[in-house]
Amino acid sequence: MFDLHQKVAVVTGAGSGIGAAIATLFSRQGARIVVLDRHDTAQTTADAIRAAGGDAIARQCDVSSAEDVARTFDGVAAEMDRIDILVNNAGIAHVGTIEQTLPDDLDRLYAVNVRGVYLCSRAAITIMLRQGRGVILNMASIASLVGVPDRFAYSMTKGAVLTMTKSVAIDYVKRGIRCNCICPARVRTPFVDGYLREHYPGREEEMRRTLEAYQPLGRMGTPEEVAALALYLCSDEAAFVTGQAYPIDGGVLVA
């Protein structure tokens, strides 16, 4: 089950965290991985996959740049001859209410979290249509399903990811392309650790416990847990699933 041999998987924002976990797991299941990140950490992830016996290449790509995305996806198609899976994982965060959100903050989040998903999906769909099949998985958030305090701009972008997922799913359901999204609650990633160090120096453990308590299960999720759900949704075992938003939330929605 969950065999990805002979499939080419492009994972954005795969230099660390959830993206790196997805790329690593997909490689273990046999996929050829294209690690995309705007930072040189893309190469770090690809090197680790190859050291473990997998097949991976790294490409630096700013998903908010139409030129960068077109160049990258054209290059992948020329080199790999196909793209079977696209995971739109790249994203950035912002903390604040609407009063605390400046226009530049909104534009910055929109550029990566919304425009980036649009640009990468559009590029991948062109290639997938030539093949007659493909899978797109978007990383939304629990914030696209319920209100989360102090996450105005972030929630706006993840709500857009949710509706883009449904639009792509219905537009291409007859053309062999499936599209779903995952909606995690808080996940313990290097981003979260860095955020705590920057904003709560000396109080990291206290604030970490606060973040953990938001989930009724009493902890944050792990990147590997999100990756396991991503594997199912991108595999042939999920061939009957499209247009869906899958929470992985430690019980937030049932609390």
Q: Which residues are catalytic?
A: 154
DSSP state of 40: T
DSSP state of 193: H
Amino acid letter for position 99: E
Residue 54 half-sphere exposure toward CB, CA atoms < 13 A: 27
Q: Which candidate, 96, 173, 180, 82, places its Cα nearest to that of 131?
A: 82
3-state SS assignment for residue 87: strand
Helix (H) and strand (E) counts in the chain: 9, 7
3-state SS assignment for residue 31: coil
Q: Which candidate, 140, 245, 234, 239, places its Cα nearest to that of 187?
A: 140
User: Is there a contact between 184 and 141 (Cβ–Cβ < 8 Å)?
Assistant: yes
Q: Which candidate, 12, 22, 9, places its Cα nearest to that of 223?
A: 22
HEC readout, 137-173: EEECCHHHCCCCCCEHHHHHHHHHHHHHHHHHHHHHH
Centre a 10 Å sphere on the Cβ of residue 175 and count the other Cβ atoms it contains: 12
* Residue 221 C-alpha from the chain's centroid: 15
Q: Which candidate, 31, 58, 64, places its Cα nearest to that of 43?
A: 58
What's the rounded Cα separation, in Å, for the pair 206 and 151?
Answer: 20
